[in-house]
A and B are shown apart, each in its own frame.
Chain A
Amino acid sequence: MRLLSRIHVERRTTPPAWVVVSVSVGAIIAALLVAGIFFRAYGISPLRAYGDILRGAFGSRLGITETIRRAIPLLLIGVGLTVAFRALFWNIGAEGQLLVGAVAASGIALFSGLPGALLLPAMFIGGFLAGAAWGIIPAALKSKLGINDVITTLMMNYIAIYIVEWLIHGPWKGPTMRGFAYTDPFPAAAVLSTVGDTRIHWPTLVIGIAAAIIAYVLVKRTRAGFEIRVVGENPHAAKYSGISHVKVTLLAMAFSGGMAGMAGVGEVAGIHHMLLGPANVTGGYGYTAIIVAWLARRNPLAVIVTAFLFAVLLRGGDVIKVSLGLPFQLVNVFNGLILFFLIGSDILMRYRISFDRKERRAA
């Protein structure tokens, strides 16, 4: 395709890393600029707004710690999603997987009767298994019956939401909670320790970072990771070389669901210390993590950075609610704009404009 006689537009093969990073950063900046327009419309200086956000995230001890604690679930879920995306499985169901993980943890905390020292490990294991199970169901439906993964994972989100609603309004309603729809608070042994007086439940953070490293190693250096990558990058070649699409999909989704489940454990055991209404437990992390994973270009290690970035935005939303009187929903505007600009920039990266006429045909 030629625009002018000396300008070529052709499909790029693989963009080098610096292009990917700079284009992604560009997309974010563009999104923030557009968001700035909205600030203007409210008579607020965008500079002031962004200044508030940055100060809110980094300017105080509370700010930094709050940012970090918001990054934790994004990190866990994001890492899981990078693995699922690598196997070409569109896991929109992290919200639901998070919730069932929280449910499992709450059940173990409140009703299992396990000795104190075993409670937290059991909760994490249970949360992982619950999330994994929730993820495996749509995976089986896709790999065995060819059913669309987006829709099944989405539907399972809502089933999970209503399971939680049912539990907190019904059988698990805390008798001590004076009519509020929560469970009882967890026993002390089921509460995650935090760093000092902050809300950073560090065991989950450690798990998250460990998971990022493990996922990276898994994907790049193990047999299972190799199979996942082949399935995701060329399903025909996968079939030709005897790789089982079913096994790979189930494995990837077990991991992704399990990670989201553990994020759920972290939220109820680390922040809320009880099972609350679904929206309060998930805080939309399951959806935000999709952008986190997307921006990280499916690289688990990069998720550490992108999770933190979105945590800054979330924290920023909290801050300007108070300082500027803007509703927290603004964060969704950021998220939506960033995602759109990312999509647009992805397209941009697919093509390359060159100014010479050299034929790039390999001999």
Chain B
Amino acid sequence: MRISRPTPRTRHHSSSESESVVAGQAPAVELRGIVKTFPGVVANDGVDLTVERGEIHCLLGENGAGKTTLMRILYGLYQPDEGTIVLNGKTVTISSPRKALEHRIGMVHQHFHLVPTLSVEENIILGLDEGPSPLLHSRRTRAKIRDLAKEFGLEVDPQAKVWQLSVGQQQRVEILKALYRKADVLIMDEPTSVLTPQEVSGLFGTLRSLVDAGLTIVFITHKLDEVMQISDRVSVLRKGTIVGTVHTSETDKRTLARLMVGREVVFRVEKPLVERGAVVLSVKDLHTTNDRGLKALNGISFDLYASEILGVAGVSGNGQHELSEVLTGLRRAGHGQAVLQAQDLTHCSAREIADLGVAHVPTERIRVGTVPSMTIRENLLLKRYRQAPFSRWGFLNDTAAKTHAEGAMQEYSISAPHDGVAAKLLSGGNIQRLVLARELCGDPALIIAAHPTYGLDVGATEQVRETLLQQRSNGAAILLISEDLDEILQLSDRILVLFEGEIMGVLPADQADPNEIGLLMAGSRRQEVVT
């Protein structure tokens, strides 16, 4: 395992064998005018990116900026709507990952493309057509794998089954997979999000030896420290376009954060001045793990007051999702406590928490928040069907349900011919109104709202925000989780920044500088918590 090398600039000059940014050599990868849209969203809006051979090029940006989409296009998982890809000076079409690999482009995804029950060796050769023999020639393959592994510090046992490996080791297998197929461009999508600090330095050592051996690396990340540590150049994406490409040695974290987050004047919704009330939710030293068994929340503590919106800022994957799940009974807490007024929520079930008056507006409004095949009326009852007047002696009271539904549809402007329409026929905005109508009826004391305006059009977005502010005026305590920093800035009274499961800082919103928040979100600096 290699020792940490000095800063990029020095390395650049000192390494003679690695191809550098010397004129005359075509760039390894050129993306010209890439446009990619999904229904309702422009993910890439005319992106031009040049990656020189032999460099480590970072793609920096928040979630939704378009980094992963862009690289997936390069890897053949998506096809661009417009634009061209030029590799080493030649225009190519990459119609599938297999084609990408043929063009020597490999990708290590955030969620590994590995088959857990197969061995390392089997995963590496899966789909490879290495000649007439159907046999595995294991000894030869394993020797080859071992050589590659040793050369780049990627030691792993070729015969081990993937499920037996640690996440860091699995990542090595993903890298080896690309190397075995002679990739000379390696795309890495947020690779350190699943690694321990030691594994991170191991990875960086590997990346440097790969570059020394002639590879080109594109490194997607949202963490500024990493960018400064490992990259030669960095391109910042924001809302689907590249807002700047700089040499890492010529920039600093502040500048990058500013590029990442933008300096547009945020249109501030007139937030009524409201006195905040008593503590509603008290979280102490909360720990929990994510689905992979890794630490998602690492001892966070904060208080949430009535008539306040606490915005949780941070790039997705830093513990926000797990936080919302623990607070709504969908995930077990390892350690620590969450107390709602006088009740200990920590180990309550989802049903008990809902009964206590906690509203949950989930991230996935269709997949989790509704039953698409059921009617509006039935969806509105999803949490309250057990209570009077909606059910009596086990029977559902249809009249009460209908009246309630009609009232809700009016109050929340759910647009549909009548309440018997199936939820799956509604637009995204109407579905969210449905969810809000359901969650907010009964004046909940605590509202957990996760990405409430994601994917909604302007009108629906405004409406949702108005609704949240209304609830705030009525005394609700709101935990707002969002990747949209503008939204957090507009709506929150205080802002809490989560990074790698820890609180980086809690600031009052009216004094918050977006760039500073950007720095916190990117793991840069810790701050005094403002209560």
Q: Real complex partners, A and B?
A: yes
State whether A233 and B394 are in contact (beta carbons under 8 Å apart), knowing that A226-B385, A242-B354 are contacts in the complex: no
B373 contacts A224, C-beta separation under 8 Å: no
CA distance A363 to B39 in the complex (A): 12
Q: Which residues of B contact A242 (CB under 8 A)?
A: 329, 349-354, 383
Q: Among residues 389 to 443 in chain B, which have CB atoms less than 8 Å away from a CB atom of chain A?
A: 391, 394-396, 398, 422, 424-427, 430
Partner of B350, one of A13, A14, A233, A239: A239
Q: Is A45 close to B, CB under 8 A?
A: no
Q: Which residues of A contact B427 (CB under 8 A)?
A: 361-363
Q: Which residues of B contact A226 (CB under 8 A)?
A: 378, 381, 385, 396
CA distance A196 to B194 in the complex (A): 75
| Residue in A closest to B430 when the chains form the complex, CB atoms | A362
Task: Tell me the minimal C-beta distance from A139 to chain B in angstroms.
Answer: 20
Q: Kindly name the residue among B368, B371, B427 whose own CB sees the greatest number of chain A CB atoms within 10 A.
A: B371
State whether A223 and B385 are in contact (beta carbons under 8 Å apart), knowing that A240-B330, A240-B360 are contacts in the complex: yes
A222 contacts B396, C-beta separation under 8 Å: yes
A221 contacts B398, C-beta separation under 8 Å: yes
Q: Which residues of A contact B360 (CB under 8 A)?
A: 240
| Residue in A closest to B350 when the chains form the complex, CB atoms | A242
B372 contacts A241, C-beta separation under 8 Å: no
A362 contacts B386, C-beta separation under 8 Å: no
CA distance A362 to B427 in the complex (A): 5
A14 contacts B395, C-beta separation under 8 Å: no
Q: Is A229 close to B, CB under 8 A?
A: yes
A240 contacts B362, C-beta separation under 8 Å: yes
State whether A222 and B368 are in contact (beta carbons under 8 Å apart), knowing that A233-B373, A242-B349 are contacts in the complex: no
Q: Among residues 220 to 255 in chain A, which have CB atoms less than 8 Å away from a CB atom of chain B?
A: 221-224, 226, 229-230, 233-234, 236-237, 239-244
Task: Tell me the minimal C-beta distance from A51 to chain B in angstroms.
Answer: 42
CA distance A237 to B350 in the complex (A): 11
Q: Which residues of B contact A234 (CB under 8 A)?
A: 367, 370-373
Partner of B395, one of A223, A229, A230, A239: A223
0/1 string, A76-109, CB within 8 A of B gives 1: 0000000000000000000000000000000000
State whether A230 and B382 are in contact (beta carbons under 8 Å apart), knowing that A13-B425, A239-B330, A239-B350 are contacts in the complex: yes
Partner of B394, one of A222, A237, A361: A222
Q: Is B191 close to A, CB under 8 A?
A: no
CA distance A362 to B349 in the complex (A): 36
Interface residues on A, range: 20 to 34
Q: Is B153 close to A, CB under 8 A?
A: no
Q: Which residues of A contact B330 (CB under 8 A)?
A: 239-240
CA distance A189 to B430 in the complex (A): 62
Q: Which residues of A contact B368 (CB under 8 A)?
A: 236-237, 240
0/1 string, A139-170, CB within 8 A of B gives 1: 00000000000000000000000000000000
| Residue in A closest to B351 when the chains form the complex, CB atoms | A242
Q: Is B369 close to A, CB under 8 A?
A: yes
Q: Is B374 close to A, CB under 8 A?
A: yes
A362 contacts B370, C-beta separation under 8 Å: no
| Residue in A closest to B381 when the chains form the complex, CB atoms | A226
Q: Which residues of B contact A222 (CB under 8 A)?
A: 394-396
| Residue in B closest to A243 when the chains form the complex, CB atoms | B351
B374 contacts A230, C-beta separation under 8 Å: yes
Task: Tell me the minimal C-beta distance from B360 to chain A in angstroms.
Answer: 7
Give the tally of cross-chain contacts (CB within 8 A): 76
Task: Tell me the minimal C-beta distance from A255 to chain B in angstroms.
Answer: 14
State whether A237 and B425 are in contact (beta carbons under 8 Å apart), knowing that A223-B391, A230-B371 are contacts in the complex: no
CA distance A355 to B362 in the complex (A): 38
Q: Which residues of A contact B430 (CB under 8 A)?
A: 362
Q: Which residues of A contact B378 (CB under 8 A)?
A: 226
State whether A229 and B374 are in contact (beta carbons under 8 Å apart), knowing that A240-B362, A242-B349 are contacts in the complex: yes
A223 contacts B394, C-beta separation under 8 Å: yes
B383 contacts A241, C-beta separation under 8 Å: yes
Task: Tell me the minimal C-beta distance from A246 to chain B in angstroms.
Answer: 12
| Residue in A closest to B360 when the chains form the complex, CB atoms | A240
State whether A237 and B396 are in contact (beta carbons under 8 Å apart), knowing that A13-B424, A14-B422 are contacts in the complex: no
A241 contacts B382, C-beta separation under 8 Å: yes
Q: Among residues 199 to 232 in chain A, which have CB atoms less than 8 Å away from a CB atom of chain B?
A: 221-224, 226, 229-230
Q: Which residues of A contact B367 (CB under 8 A)?
A: 234, 236-237
State whether A237 and B382 are in contact (beta carbons under 8 Å apart), knowing that A13-B424, A13-B425, A242-B329 are contacts in the complex: yes
A362 contacts B426, C-beta separation under 8 Å: yes
0/1 string, A90-131, CB within 8 A of B gives 1: 000000000000000000000000000000000000000000
Task: Tell me the minimal C-beta distance from A121 to chain B in angstroms.
Answer: 24
Q: Among residues 328 to 359 in chain B, which have CB atoms less than 8 Å away from a CB atom of chain A?
A: 329-330, 349-354
| Residue in A closest to B431 when the chains form the complex, CB atoms | A362
State whether A237 and B371 are in contact (beta carbons under 8 Å apart), knowing that A223-B385, A362-B426, A363-B427 are contacts in the complex: yes
State whether A362 and B395 are in contact (beta carbons under 8 Å apart), knowing that A230-B371, A240-B362, A240-B368 are contacts in the complex: no
B374 contacts A240, C-beta separation under 8 Å: no
B370 contacts A237, C-beta separation under 8 Å: yes
CA distance A362 to B414 in the complex (A): 13
Q: Which residues of A contact B354 (CB under 8 A)?
A: 241-242
Partner of B396, one of A14, A221, A239, A241: A221
0/1 string, A1-40, CB within 8 A of B gives 1: 0000000000001100000000000000000000000000
Q: Which residues of B contact A236 (CB under 8 A)?
A: 364, 367-368
| Residue in B closest to A362 when the chains form the complex, CB atoms | B427
CA distance A151 to B152 in the complex (A): 47
Partner of A237, one of B329, B349, B369, B386: B369
Task: Tell me the minimal C-beta distance from B32 to chain A in angstroms.
Answer: 29
Task: Tell me the minimal C-beta distance from A96 to chain B in angstroms.
Answer: 30
Task: Tell me the minimal C-beta distance from A75 to chain B in angstroms.
Answer: 24
Q: Which residues of B contact A221 (CB under 8 A)?
A: 395-396, 398
CA distance A361 to B428 in the complex (A): 10
Task: Tell me the minimal C-beta distance from B61 to chain A in angstroms.
Answer: 29
Q: Which residues of A contact B391 (CB under 8 A)?
A: 223
CA distance A226 to B401 in the complex (A): 13
Q: Which residues of A contact B382 (CB under 8 A)?
A: 230, 237, 241
Q: Which residues of A contact B396 (CB under 8 A)?
A: 221-223, 226
Partner of B425, one of A230, A243, A362: A362
Q: Which residues of B contact A240 (CB under 8 A)?
A: 330, 350, 360, 362, 368-369
Q: Which residues of A contact B383 (CB under 8 A)?
A: 241-242
Q: Which residues of A contact B385 (CB under 8 A)?
A: 223, 226
Known pairs A222-B395, A242-B383 / 18 extra A-B pairs, C-beta < 8 Å: A13-B424, A14-B422, A221-B398, A222-B394, A223-B391, A223-B395, A223-B396, A226-B396, A230-B371, A233-B371, A233-B374, A236-B367, A237-B371, A240-B369, A241-B350, A241-B354, A362-B430, A363-B427
For the complex of A and B, list the 10 residue pairs with the smallest distance between their C-beta atoms, beginning with the closest.
A242-B351, A242-B350, A362-B427, A234-B371, A241-B382, A236-B368, A233-B373, A240-B368, A237-B371, A233-B371
**24 sample A-B contacts, Cβ–Cβ < 8 Å, listed by A number:** A13-B422, A13-B425, A14-B422, A222-B396, A223-B385, A223-B394, A223-B395, A223-B396, A226-B381, A226-B396, A233-B373, A233-B374, A236-B368, A237-B367, A237-B382, A239-B350, A240-B360, A240-B362, A240-B369, A241-B350, A242-B349, A242-B353, A361-B427, A362-B425
Binding site for A on B (CB under 8 A): 39, 329-330, 349-354, 360, 362, 364, 367-374, 378, 381-383, 385-386, 391, 394-396, 398, 422, 424-427, 430
Binding site for B on A (CB under 8 A): 13-14, 221-224, 226, 229-230, 233-234, 236-237, 239-244, 361-363
